[in-house]
Amino acid sequence: MTPALGMSRVLDSVSDSTILKWRRVFDKGGIDAFRQSPSKAGVRKRCQILEERIVAHRQEHPEHGARRIRDDLRRQDGLETSAETVRTVVNEAGLGAPPVQAKRRPVQVRRFERSIPNALWQIDIFTFKLKRMYPVYLVGIIDDHSRYADRTFERSPSTSTTSRSPSEETVSSPWPI
């Protein structure tokens, strides 16, 4: 038994005759024999004409992209093709534009920092539910001069608004949230 036939036993959905056919095709033309090629001479000629028109159009108008070339060929010559086919033909002919290199920006250190107290505050709010039914709102305020949490506020339906400072006990806050 040849290795190809033994392999078909593993692949139940592929018949022995198919494996043998693939083997003959490979022996005749190598891996290139499996690549798709147009079956009819007219189709091959049409593909060759299309490729020549794409290359000629790109040489005439190097600033046109793949979609513009596709649209011009459709309008002027009545040739239907996809933008990806145009891009492939242009790149294979060596007429493609090199990929654009992204310009790196210099690293910027962005810090929110102020030289005097109370010049800039940052506020963050966090909401969650206790026992899946009581909404709780937690608000944190940071003074950018000291970089410490100045106050935190929390509110839930069962309690009044409370304000906490890192150095103080919990106190009631007159501000509603």
User: 56 or 7, which is more confident?
Assistant: 56
Both tokens of residue 122?
A: 């940052």
- pTM equals 0.38
Q: Band of the pLDDT at 176, cuts 50, 70, 90?
A: very low
State the Cα–Cα distance between residues 87 and 18, nearest whole angstrom. 35
The radius of gyration of the chain's CA atoms, rounded to the nearest angstrom, is 35
In tens, the pLDDT along 34-68 reads 776 666 666 666 688 889 999 999 999 999 999 99
Q: How far is CA 39 from CA 18, 44, 86, 139, in A?
A: 20, 8, 21, 71
Reported as a pLDDT band with limits 50, 70 and 90, residue 98 is confident
Give the pLDDT of residue 57: 93
